[in-house]
């Protein structure tokens, strides 16, 4: 029972992390032109 719950938590955390990573990557792509322009302005 305890092992099952732990497995569930690990799986949930893993999926959440993957989702955040994916969304962050898209966000970075979305901001890339702005960030690049900002960096060249310095």
Partner 1 sequence: MSGERHPVSRAKPGGVAARPIRRPKISRRQRREWLAAAVFIAPNMIGLLVFTLGPVVAGFLISLTQWDMLSPAQWIGLDNYRTVLHDPLIWLSLKNTLYYSVLVILVGPVVSLGLALAVDSPLRGVTVYRTIYFIPVVASSIAIAIVWKWLYQPDFGLLNALLRTVGIKPLGWLGDSQMAMPCVALVAVWQGMGYNMMIFLAGLKGIPAHLYEAAAIDGARGARRLWHITLPLLTPTLFFVLVMSTINSFQVFGEVYAMTFGGPGNATLVYVYYLWQNAFTWFKMGYGAAMAYILFVIIFVFTLLQVGLLGRRVQYEQF
- Chain positions contacting partner 1, by CB under 8 A: 16, 19-20, 22-24, 26-27, 30-34, 36-37, 40
Q: Alpha-carbon distance 29 to 27, whole Å?
A: 5
- Minimum CB separation of residue 2 from partner 1 in Å reads 26
Q: Give the nearer residue to partner 1 in terms of CB position, either 14 or 36.
A: 36
Distance spanning both ends of the chain, measured CA to CA: 57
- Minimum CB separation of residue 22 from partner 1 in Å reads 7
Q: What is the CA radius of gyration of the chain?
A: 18
């Amino acid at each position: 029972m305890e092992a099952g719950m732990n497995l569930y938590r690990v799986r949930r955390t893993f999926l959440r992390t993957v989702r955040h990573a994916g969304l962050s990557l898209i966000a970075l792509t979305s901001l890339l032109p702005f960030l690049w322009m900002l960096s060249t302005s310095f």
